[in-house]
């Protein structure tokens, strides 16, 4: 098994979005005491770590991703003592804790920005990205914000524009300034000294920009948009060559890695809005002077899961991540729920939808690398349809109705099937409405059902933790004659495993001569029927076997 220092290489990480996990004080918004109250639930999943999305002081214009004080807990979520209680309880249960760090930008209400915007000659004048207007007074170039419109905003006090790759209220820090880097590392050290086990780093590939501020070229009409990009999103009308994915960002990773290594901590990087998510991700985790692991949108696109697509994806990961680790992620707070992305490509029968959910759980936990499970995906929650008058997400409000935003995947966690607000809060109304159909997926209902998706995740994670081949083994995709079957071998010195998945709603028969010699494993509770020379897999069936 991997040493404790290498735990992250095959970790299962559970993401908690605090606003929507559990409300501990009855105000309708999830908080740190709510997490503490349900920490045993997280531990019961058998995961290795939890990633907690931002709980820092913020005006909440982007719900915590606009930080006004990196070292303070926002009162909405509780106190620093509340966080320390969560950290201690997690460690008592052998759970490591990663916290979100948003280092690309701050809130415009951060004291750093208040000083920087005041003049061109103060102590923090160069802490953010400032630029003079063009001769006609327009922004310095044509860069676009990912949230829509120009990436530049005018500041009357300085008579200059500042860069904001996201909301206008989220000015970008200037990572070319060594004082900024030192201040960020000091912030990181503050949390590491408190005992956190690492960070999830928000939009790492945006940290630096082309200092010449060159215009981005338009996207050629025949060039496909990146995976996950919608046709209605103007950000990808350009080739974003100069506003992100700069080589200079990779050079900055060394000092981050060195600090983390001193504390035995890790970094999980988010790679966002890039042309080639896999290629960029692999660069950020290549070698021991960059980050530990990274996730991207490869499994979060709105297209069916086919054997051809998965084979190409797995084989490309194997070719790119030769010495780094990918974090396989199929859902986060920023993407539509995985259940709804793929259910429309499956037959409408409930039992087949359920079979697919169970298959995907087995697939995610069998891939080489670590993986991340977003709260509620273990319950099979669907994407919520939020009416306009209830939308909270600024991205959704700005883009409505073409862009519906991220609220649909951020609705509160259903804990109790028969309770008001599904047991999430005692308040008359939660901060986002809970869909009626989510009550049936509640934790207490699934804990009472041994065949539920939640129970399947628990058994699978427990079983995975006992398989050396899945924790540290190599990966080799099999070429099978039936294009409905995805097969691969995970192998290490102690063990070899065959992993076979029927990605179709029909029963599939596989000739055993196409498979390596193996014996079935029964403890994962997946069904199959074996004959002398034929293996039968039911619709969306899964088969695990030990290599002979």
Q: Does the residue 157 lie in any domain?
A: no
Same domain, 523 and 404: no
Residue 227 scores a pLDDT above 90: no
Q: Helix 350-364 crosses helix 453-465 at what angle (to 10 degrees)?
A: 20
User: So what's the pLDDT on residue 522?
Assistant: 66
Same domain, 283 and 350: yes
Q: Does the residue 47 lie in any domain?
A: yes
Same domain, 348 and 279: yes
Using alpha carbons only, give the angle 450, 14, 393 rounded to the nearest 5 degrees: 110
Taking the C-alpha atoms of residue 398 and residue 58, their distance in angstroms, rounded to an integer, is 20
Residue 432 scores a pLDDT above 80: yes
Among all chains, which residue has been given the structure tokens 């298959």? 359
User: So what's the pLDDT on residue 472?
Assistant: 93
User: 92 is written with which tokens?
Assistant: 């008592």
Same domain, 197 and 315: yes
Same domain, 433 and 505: no
CATH of the domain at 542: 2.60.40.1180
Q: Does the residue 143 lie in any domain?
A: no
Residue 2 scores a pLDDT above 50: no
Torsion from C-alpha of 518, 522, 525, 531, nearest 10 degrees: 60
Torsion from C-alpha of 31, 372, 377, 59, nearest 10 degrees: 30
What is the per-residue burial (b if ≥16 Cβ within 10 Å, else e) of 409-423? bbbbbbbebeeebbb
Range 248-275 average pLDDT: 97
Domain residues for the domain of 345 are 4-107+177-463
Q: Does the residue 535 lie in any domain?
A: yes
Residue in 66, 270, 275, 528 annotated catalytic: 270
CATH of the domain at 306: 3.20.20.80
User: So what's the pLDDT on residue 57?
Assistant: 98
Cα-based distances in Å from 477 to 322, 376, 439, 507: 16, 30, 39, 21
In this structure, of 208-222, 352-366, 396-410, 509-523, the range with the lowest mean pLDDT score is: 396-410
pLDDT-based confidence at 523, cuts 50/70/90? low
Range 457-468 average pLDDT: 96
Sequence length of the chain is: 548
Name the strand (E) or helix (H) holding 114: helix 111-116
Cα-based distances in Å from 382 to 228, 335, 411, 450: 18, 12, 10, 21
Q: Does the residue 113 lie in any domain?
A: no
| Burial category of 495 from C-beta neighbours within 10 Å (exposed 0-12, middle 13-18, buried 19 and up) | middle
In this structure, of 111-120, 323-332, 531-540, the range with the lowest mean pLDDT score is: 531-540
Torsion from C-alpha of 69, 158, 134, 272, nearest 10 degrees: 0
CB distance 322 to 288 below 8 Å: no
Residue in 202, 275, 377, 407 annotated catalytic: 202
Read off the pLDDT of residues 147-187 as tens digits, 9 standing for 90 and up.
Answer: 989 999 999 999 999 999 999 999 999 999 999 999 999 99
Same domain, 496 and 458: no
In this structure, of 159-168, 227-236, 303-312, the range with the lowest mean pLDDT score is: 227-236
Of 463, 490, 505, the one marking the end of a domain is 463
Taking the C-alpha atoms of residue 485 and residue 482, their distance in angstroms, rounded to an integer, is 6
Q: Where are the alpha helices (DSSP H) in 365-483?
A: 394-399, 443-447, 453-465, 468-472
Residue 396's CB is within 10 A of a number of other CB atoms, namely 18
CB distance 70 to 20 below 8 Å: no
Same domain, 188 and 316: yes
User: So what's the pLDDT on residue 310?
Assistant: 96
Taking the C-alpha atoms of residue 100 and residue 204, their distance in angstroms, rounded to an integer, is 12
The total number of structural domains in the chain stands at 2
Residue 364's CB is within 10 A of a number of other CB atoms, namely 22
Question: DSSP readout, 196-215?
Answer: --EEEETTGGGS---TT-PP
Range 126-130 average pLDDT: 98
Cβ neighbours of residue 137 closer than 8 Å, sequence gap 6 or more: none
Q: What percent of the chain has pLDDT over 70?
A: 97
Is 202 a catalytic site residue? yes
Q: Does the residue 170 lie in any domain?
A: no
- Start-to-end C-alpha separation, the chain: 21
Same domain, 384 and 508: no
Residue 75's CB is within 10 A of a number of other CB atoms, namely 9
Taking the C-alpha atoms of residue 273 and residue 277, their distance in angstroms, rounded to an integer, is 8
Same domain, 505 and 455: no
Among all chains, which residue has been given the structure tokens 């059902």? 449
Same domain, 337 and 481: no
Query: In angstroms, how far apart are the furthest CA atoms of the chain?
Result: 81
User: 269 is written with which tokens?
Assistant: 């990087």
User: So what's the pLDDT on residue 519?
Assistant: 87
Give which of 216, 121, 107 is closest to 172, Cα–Cα.
107
CB distance 456 to 358 below 8 Å: yes
Taking the C-alpha atoms of residue 121 and residue 108, their distance in angstroms, rounded to an integer, is 19
Q: Does the residue 23 lie in any domain?
A: yes
User: So what's the pLDDT on residue 527?
Assistant: 59
Taking the C-alpha atoms of residue 30 and residue 154, their distance in angstroms, rounded to an integer, is 35
Of 435, 463, 491, the one marking the end of a domain is 463
Cis before 401? omega within 30: yes
Of 463, 484, 501, the one marking the end of a domain is 463
Name the strand (E) or helix (H) holding 41: helix 39-44
What pTM was computed for the model? Answer: 0.96
User: 458 is written with which tokens?
Assistant: 């628990």
User: 364 is written with which tokens?
Assistant: 């995610």
Same domain, 389 and 504: no
Q: Does the residue 321 lie in any domain?
A: yes
Same domain, 384 and 365: yes
User: So what's the pLDDT on residue 54?
Assistant: 98
Residue 200 scores a pLDDT above 60: yes
Question: DSSP readout, 466-497?
Answer: T-HHHHH-EEEE---SSTTEEEEEEE-SS-EE
Average pLDDT, the chain: 94
Is 270 a catalytic site residue? yes
Read off the pLDDT of residues 469-502 as tens digits, 9 standing for 90 and up.
Answer: 999 999 999 999 999 999 999 999 999 999 999 9
């Amino acid at each position: 098994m991997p040493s404790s220092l290498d735990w992250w290489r095959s970790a299962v990480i559970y993401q908690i979005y605090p606003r929507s996990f559990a409300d501990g004080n009855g105000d309708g918004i999830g908080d740190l005491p709510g997490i503490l109250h349900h920490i045993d639930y997280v531990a019961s999943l058998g995961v290795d770590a939890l990633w907690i999305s931002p709980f820092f002081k913020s005006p909440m214009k982007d719900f915590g991703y606009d930080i006004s004080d990196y070292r303070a807990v926002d009162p909405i979520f509780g106190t620093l003592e509340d966080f320390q209680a969560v950290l201690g309880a997690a460690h008592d249960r052998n759970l490591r804790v990663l916290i979100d760090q948003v280092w690309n930008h701050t809130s415009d209400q951060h004291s750093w920005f208040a000083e920087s915007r005041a003049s061109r000659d103060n102590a923090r004048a160069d802490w953010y990205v400032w630029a003079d207007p063009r001769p006609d007074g327009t922004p310095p170039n044509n860069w676009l914000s990912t949230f829509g419109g120009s990436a530049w905003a005018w500041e009357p006090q300085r008579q200059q524009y500042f860069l904001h790759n996201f909301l206008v209220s989220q000015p970008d820090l200037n990572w070319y300034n060594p004082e900024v880097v030192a201040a960020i590392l000091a912030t990181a050290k503050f949390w590491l000294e408190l005992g956190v086990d690492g960070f999830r780093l928000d939009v790492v590939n945006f940290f630096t920009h082309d200092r010449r501020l060159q215009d981005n070229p338009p996207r050629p009409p025949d060039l496909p948009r990146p995976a996950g990009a919608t046709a209605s999103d103007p950000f990808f009308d350009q080739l974003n060559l100069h506003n992100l994915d700069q080589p200079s960002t990779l050079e900055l990773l060394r000092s981050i890695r060195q600090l983390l290594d001193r504390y035995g901590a890790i970094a999980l990087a988010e790679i966002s809005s890039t042309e080639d998510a896999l290629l960029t991700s692999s660069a950020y985790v290549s070698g021991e002077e960059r980050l530990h692991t990274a996730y991207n949108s490869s499994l979060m696109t709105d297209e069916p899961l086919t054997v051809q697509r998965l084979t190409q994806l797995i084989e490309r990961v194997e070719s790119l991540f030769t010495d780094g680790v990918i974090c396989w992620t199929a859902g986060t707070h920023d993407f539509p729920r995985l259940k709804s992305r793929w259910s429309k490509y499956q037959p409408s029968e409930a039992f087949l939808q359920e079979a697919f959910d169970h298959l995907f759980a087995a697939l995610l936990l069998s891939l080489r690398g670590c993986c991340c499970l977003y709260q509620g995906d273990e319950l099979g929650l669907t994407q919520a349809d939020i009416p306009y008058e209830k939308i909270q997400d600024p991205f959704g409000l700005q883009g409505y109705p073409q862009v519906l935003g991220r609220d649909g995947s951020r609705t509160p966690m259903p804990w109790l099937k028969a309770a008001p607000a599904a047991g999430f809060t005692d308040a008359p109304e939660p901060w986002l409405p809970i869909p009626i159909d989510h009550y049936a997926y509640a934790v207490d209902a699934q804990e009472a059902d041994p065949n539920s998706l939640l129970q399947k995740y628990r058994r699978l994670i427990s079983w995975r933790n006992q398989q050396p081949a899945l924790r540290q083994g190599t990966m080799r995709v099999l070429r099978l004659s039936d294009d409905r079957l995805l097969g691969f071998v995970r192998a290490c010195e102690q063990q070899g495993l065959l992993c076979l998945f029927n990605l179709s709603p029909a029963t599939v028969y596989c000739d055993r001569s196409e498979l390596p010699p193996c014996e079935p494993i029964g403890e994962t509770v997946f069904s199959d029927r074996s004959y002398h020379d034929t293996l039968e897999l039911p619709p969306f069936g899964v088969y695990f076997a030990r290599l002979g």
